[in-house]
Amino acid sequence: MLSPKKVKWRKQQKGRMRGMSKGGNYVAFGDVGLQATECGWLTARQIEAARIAISRHVKRGGKLYVRVFPDKPVSKKPAETRMGKGKGNPEEWVAVVRPGRVLYELEGVDPKLALAAFQLAHHKLPVNTRVITREQAL
């Protein structure tokens, strides 16, 4: 799973997911990209599951770029625990995704094959997505 090697602070606050993506909202490396159209959290497991679905569908042809990284720790308290006694321990890592963020890019693959691969990845992700080419932007 993806996670940072080292972080300055062990726990973070939830934060807010307002507005459009500040950066990473265009296809920079590949020819076709998968762009988020709503905000949400992508866990490290979801990012990896979508990556595997894409790479298996294109049969490891072309080059796949993953443009998101889970750098936010999410803490959870144990089940059936009373309120209080501090914040829970970090359980998983998530990437904060806002509308317009390009999640994955493919290079050197037929556009129809890329569309089918991104359709499989879309089903693995908790946010709505759309397929864009290098010329398009949200």
Task: Please say if the pLDDT value at position 28 is more than 80.
Answer: yes
Q: What is the mean pLDDT of residues 7-33?
A: 95
Task: Please say if the pLDDT value at position 54 is more than 60.
Answer: yes
Task: Please say if the pLDDT value at position 83 is more than 60.
Answer: yes
Greatest distance between any 2 Cα atoms in the chain: 55
Angstrom distances, CA of residue 88 to CA of 65, 75, 79, 85:
33, 5, 11, 9
For the stretch 92-109, pLDDT in tens is: 999 999 999 999 999 999
65 forms beta bridges with 105
Angle 60-62-67 from CA coordinates, rounded to 5°: 95
Q: pLDDT category, 137, cuts 50, 70, 90?
A: low
Task: Please say if the pLDDT value at position 138 is more than 70.
Answer: no
Q: Rounded CA gap, 107 and 97, in Å? A: 22
Q: What is the mean pLDDT of residues 35-51?
A: 97
Q: Are 32 and 114 in contact (CB under 8 A)?
A: yes
Q: What is the mean pLDDT of residues 38-60?
A: 96
Query: What are the backbone angles phi and psi of residue 15, rounded to the nearest 5°?
Result: 80, 180
Residue 77 DSSP label: P
What average pLDDT is seen over the chain?
95
Q: pLDDT category, 136, cuts 50, 70, 90?
A: confident
Q: Are 67 and 23 in contact (CB under 8 A)?
A: no
Q: What is the mean pLDDT of residues 81-99?
A: 96
Q: How far apart are the first and last CA of the chain?
A: 29
**What pLDDT is stored for residue 61 in this prediction?**
85
Q: Rounded CA gap, 72 and 94, in Å? A: 5
